[in-house]
Structure 1
Amino acid sequence: MGKIKVALAGIGNCASALLQGIEFYKNNPENTVGLMHPELAGYRPEDIEVVTAFDVDERKVGRDLEEALFAEPNCTQVFWKNIPDYQVKVEMAPVLDGVSPHMKEYDASRAFIVKEAKPCDVVKVLKESGAEMLINYLPVGSEEGARFYAEACLEAGIGFINAMPVFIASDAQWEKRFRQRKIPIIGDDVKSQLGATIIHRVLTNLFERRGVKLENTYQLNFGGNTDFLNMLNHQRLVSKKKSKTQSVQSQLAAPLSPGNIHIGPSDYIRWLDDQKICYIHMNGLGFGQVPLTVELKLAVEDAPNSGGVMLDAVRCMKLALDRGIGGVLTSISAYTMKSPPVQYTDGEAAQMVEEFIVGKREH
């Protein structure tokens, strides 16, 4: 199989974990722990090649990609240090709404420091790099930035994977534009391999299937990375809270009223670094309307938790490109994203992906 040429927008913790993972599995081919598909229609993790990258932080822009992956404010766990020379320099991107003003009030080891430089011509760079798709890893709240990269992908004629909570793949007008251009898109808002959202979804679906009425629930999340610092600005949280909430609500035949469900990032705790702590609380009524309560705590390194998911998204997009398929890839979006255009149970989505991989399903 050939290489899968990928562009990255945002060289943060998720990009660092993704590339560490690619190199880890390339050098440990017999170790498939953490992979949902060690091989996907002939494509393996090591077939993914990053050909260009964009950021705005002065500690990353202009540096070799393999150095920028470990530059501050990145703080995710380093599980594979031997990153090769990708022959890629990180390009200066337009800042747009990617940096919250409150970042200036915090320690530079976690905050963004915007480089004073002229942004590159993103579309030109994408075309010259030979990228086949772009992964959007911009910070939560970068509404303008997400739309900018979606537009750039349309202009460059490459696929778009929207890993952040801005509604593009799930927006009918955007989807129509990608479909008309026969360019594939996956989105929106990446769902971790075993994270807060998928656990909360599965438990909610379990309540529904076992005849237990979910009365009310909350999900609280804490972390110490730049993403959680960024989300202290609650104005940037509107799409994030909506994405996480509707992902859980979609598992119920009758959604809870807004007053009975609370889901979203809760606070920033510096010393947690890239560790994310999640508390889920669910109150229900069972047989005879007798009350029951479920409480759960999840502790996970945040960035690597979406790495395996993204490997599948990238390879499914490559399949779509190989097959000449454009528009939203419904199955892999439902499997890997919190806010796909159409919600399915996670079991249904997994089956749909298997059908897509073998060619039984177009999207």
Structure 2
Amino acid sequence: MPKNIKVAIAGVGNCASALVQGVEYYRSRRNTALDGVMRQTIGGYRASDVEFVSAFDIDRRKVGRPLEEAIFAKPNNTRVFQSSLPVSNVVVQMGPQFDGVAPHMADYDDDVAFRPVDLEPTDIAEALRKSGAEVLLCYLPVGSDKAVKHYAQACLEAGVAMVNCVPVFLASDPEWAQKFLDARLPIVGDDIKSQVGATIVHRSLARLFADRGVKLDRTYQLNTAGNTDFLNMLERKRLKSKKISKTESVQSQLDERLNDSDIHIGPSDYIPWQHDNKIAFIRLEGRGFGDAPLELELRLSVQDSSNSAGVVIDALRCAKLALDRKVGGPLEAPSAYYMKTPPRQFRDSVARDACNAFIDGVPFDLPRAAPRSEKAAVRSSRS
């Protein structure tokens, strides 16, 4: 029988809270149907077979506190669905700050913004080794390029697999991909594609238009929420990689790319009273038979962090499965299915079949995928 998967967390925010709660939530439901979980087992591992062994943050209300308490500390505001948690013996350690905190956070109340503690950062690689961590989940804020890469390097030094949930390009960057391949360590990335979130819905609708012969002329996706992720993204300079990730994810599903002026996808505004409830507005305009106009508008309301955790719980089990099989480098099939910016983009139906084949350990010939446009590649390299 498989043992527990030893997991480290970088960034004890809302997404970490939803995941930690979820592991315990499904532990008490081992012998029942697991609603909300895409796969009950992956390589013999269940959703409840996750053991958190280390955690890192920079906020004074989390550093030094047990993980099971820190996930409920401010400024976290995600939905609490599993308040009773076992003692983990994991104390949140001080991580390196680098570019992890946007300056404008200082202009907002303590209850909604990050408040860094003045402590020396932990040696992440050494802490990972001591904890016995097998997989690191990267949950750092959007725009934390230097900080994310610091954790990635620590994974390489400590021999730890990585699931990169944020839009800093690692698995999809040839240089970083080679580093993980050389170290024989798996990485799943980049930028988590939530369970039923704005990106997967938008991709599906864009593909539907094409499959049904409707010419897509223009489209937008507008998102609002009241969590720290959206407060962080009020700083537009931090959004470059996020906009590339979300936009290219949708563009990848089209037979012909839309002009930049005809597609707008990205975070839109921070609305405090929405808390962790994310609302997405999606619009597609096209032309069908006889050039007849066709317009589609959709409003999607989700609990943002739980929506993310529903995919991360599978991604980390795939990373562990790759470790067991001694497979290193970017995991193409799981990345294509679980992430917005994988090494190669495929239609979601193909990515799902390929991911299932990876999990089941059976051969699957991935088709040749069209590379991202030269313009997108240039923008990515400069982000």
Same fold (TM over 0.5): yes
Letter in 1 for 2:319: M
- Measured in 1, the distance between the counterparts of 2:215 and 2:169 equals 30
Give the Cα–Cα distance (whole angstroms) in 1 for the partners of residues 363 and 58 of structure 2.
39
2:335 pairs with 333, 336, 344, which one?
333
Whether the 8 Å CA contact 2:333–2:351 is kept in 1: the answer is yes
Letter in 2 for 1:50: F
Query: Residue 213 of structure 2 contacts residue 288 of structure 2 at CA under 8 Å; is this kept in 1?
Result: yes
3-state SS of paired residue (1:175): helix
- Counterpart AA for 1:132: E
Cα distance, 1:41 vs. partner? 2.3
Displacement after TM superposition at 1:101 (Å): 0.3
The unaligned stretches of length 5 or more in structure 1 are none
Classify the secondary structure of the residue corresponding to 1:86: coil
1:11 alignment partner AA: V
8 Å CA contact retained: 2:61, 2:74: yes
SS at match of 1:304: helix
Answer yes or no: is the 8 Å Cα contact 1:25–1:31 preserved in 2: no
1:252: which partner in 2? 254
Question: Counterpart amino acid of 1:253?
Answer: D
The corresponding residue for 1:13 is 14
Between the aligned partners of 1:184 and 1:245, the Cα distance in structure 2 is: 26
Cα offset, 1:108, TM superposition? 1.1
CA distance in 2 between counterparts of 1:158 and 1:133 reads 5
- In structure 2, the residue matched to 1:25 is 26
Shift of 1:361: 4.0
Secondary structure of the residue aligned to 2:255 is coil
The question of whether the paired residues in 1 share the 8 Å contact of 2:42 and 2:321 is answered with no
Which residue does the alignment assign to 1:99?
Answer: 101
2:223 to 217, 221, 224: 221
Q: Please show how residues 1-363 of structure 1 align to structure 2 within 5 Å.
A: 1-29=2-30, 30-361=32-363
Q: How far apart are the structure 1 equivalents of 2:282 and 2:130?
A: 46
In structure 1, distance between residues paired with 2:16 and 2:341:
21
Instruction: State the Cα deviation string for residues 48-86 of structure 1 (Å, max 9, x = none).
Output: 111000000000000000000100000000011111111
From the superposition, tell whether residues 294 and 59 of structure 1 become closer, same or farther in structure 2 (CA, over 3 Å): same
**How many residues are matched?**
363
TM-score, normalising length from structure 2? 0.94
Shift of 1:38: 1.1
**1:136-170 CA-partner distances (Å, limit 9, x unpaired):** 00000001111111111001111011000011100
Runs of 4+ in 1 over 2 A off after TM superposition: none
Gaps of 5+ in 2: 367-383
- Using the TM superposition, give the Cα deviation of residue 234 of structure 1 relative to its aligned residue in structure 2, in angstroms: 0.2
TM-score (norm 1): 0.99
Q: Give the distance between the partners of 1:229 and 1:308, measured in 2 at CA.
A: 23
For 2:48, what is the secondary structure of its paired residue? helix
Q: Secondary structure at the match of 2:194?
A: coil
Q: How many angstroms apart in 1 are the aligned matches of 2:268 and 2:218?
A: 18
Q: Which amino acid aligns with 1:217?
A: T
Q: Percent identity?
A: 54
State the secondary structure of the residue aligned to 2:222: strand
Deviation at residue 180 of structure 1 after TM alignment: 1.1
